[in-house]
Amino acid sequence: MLSKNIEAALNKQIRIEAESSQTYLSMACWAEIQGLEGVAQFMYAQSDEERQHMLKLIKYVNERGGHAIVTDLKAPKTSFGNFKEMFEELYKHELFVSDSINKLVHITFEEKDYATHNFLQWYVAEQIEEEAQAKTILDKINLIGEDRGGLYLFDRDIQILSVTSAAATNPK
């Protein structure tokens, strides 16, 4: 049985995961109208992945005797100066999500809820991967600079990355 404090903290994380999905969906829409098909495909896959993270939390809360709450969401930004700015925002967002997960893990320690602590370890590992991926992408973007040919290759390469990462991280 979840304590009311942990249930509330998990519900807050459910909202964060839902807003993450919406953020990446908005980024996908922007990239698509910019002609960045690979980036759009990557962002669509990221959006789906974040929704799966949310659903996993919802099921956990409900299975543990709590009540998962679906709330209204803050509207995401819908346009970006350029694709580098968009990926910088993605990286900052992943750092924010990691911080939120870490705070949640801390609460489980304080309340000695080791089952929830154990459950959250998957999210801790996932965030390490998400941050590393975002940082790698930003490093590649910085290498490209203003080279339009490099942007074309990057867009093509990230499309391959999105197919690989979506298949590799498909939650069960």
> What letters, b where the CB count within 10 A reaches 16 and e where it falls short, cover 12-38?
ebbbbbbbbbbbbbbbbbbbeebebeb
2-16: pLDDT as tens digits = 999 999 999 999 999
Question: Which phi and psi (to 5°) does residue 85 adopt?
Answer: -60, -40
- pLDDT single digits (tens) 112-132: 999 999 999 999 999 999 999
Counting residues of the chain whose pLDDT is more than 90, the rounded percentage is 78
Give me the residue label for tokens 């495909």: 41
The label of the residue with tokens 């999105």 reads 162
> Hey, where are the domains in the chain?
4-168
Q: How confident is the model at residue 166 (pLDDT cuts 50, 70, 90)?
A: very low
Q: How far is CA 11 from CA 55, 59, 71, 99, in A?
A: 11, 11, 9, 16
Q: Is 89 annotated as a binding residue?
A: no
Residue 172's pLDDT is what?
43
CATH-assigned architecture of domain 4-168:
Up-down Bundle (1.20)
Give pLDDT, residue 158: 86
Residue 53 among known ligand-binding residues: yes
Q: Tell me: the pLDDT tens digits for 46-60?
A: 999 999 999 999 999
63 annotated as ligand-binding: no
Q: Return the pLDDT at 153.
A: 85
Q: Backbone phi, then psi, for 76, in 5-degree steps?
A: -80, 165
Q: Tell me: is residue 50 an annotated ligand-binding position.
A: yes
Does the annotation flag 52 for ligand binding? no
Nearest Cα to 65, choosing from 6, 128, 135?
6
pTM: 0.89
Q: Which two tokens stand for residue 46?
A: 């990221």
Q: How far apart are CA 163 and CA 165, in angstroms?
A: 6
CA–CA gap between residue 114 and residue 134 (Å, rounded): 30
| pLDDT tops 80 at residue 167 | no
Whether 68 shows a pLDDT value over 60: the answer reads: yes
Contact 43, 25 (CB under 8 A): yes
